[in-house]
Amino acid sequence: MAVVNETFARKFLGDGNPIGHTITLFPHSPMAVPPMEIVGVVADAVYGSLRDPVPPIWYVPLAQFDVRGFPLPSADLSVRLVATASPRATPAGT
């Protein structure tokens, strides 16, 4: 299973619903990934500069991504929280 961003869906699958489509990454190469069904689409995110175009991105659980020779990401994790209101604001109802 895989989740793709909106740019990936538009670029490779057109305007139709991407859910249920099967994608194969790196076909005909030593790093070919077994076919994966698209089970979700997420909004585009900014990964660098706001001026950079959004790249097509696909996400898979690392537990299912067992391809020899493919460089897996490091175990480091970064999380960025974005507040929609002032963090000092009193929560509603208190």
Residue 87: inside a domain, yes or no? no
What pLDDT digit, counting tens, does each position of 22-57 carry? 988 778 887 777 888 999 999 999 878 888 899 998
User: How far lies 88's CA from each of 76, 80, 83, 85, 91, in Å?
Assistant: 30, 18, 10, 8, 9
Contact 37, 20 (CB under 8 A): yes
Residue 40: inside a domain, yes or no? yes
| Total domains present in the chain | 1
Give the model's pLDDT for residue 37.
92
Q: Which domain holds residue 10?
A: 2-64
Residue 71: inside a domain, yes or no? no
Side-chain-side CA neighbours of 67 within 13 Å: the count stands at 19
Residue 10: inside a domain, yes or no? yes
Residue 53: inside a domain, yes or no? yes
Give the model's pLDDT for residue 20.
94
Residue 30: inside a domain, yes or no? yes
pTM of the model: 0.64
Residue 74: inside a domain, yes or no? no
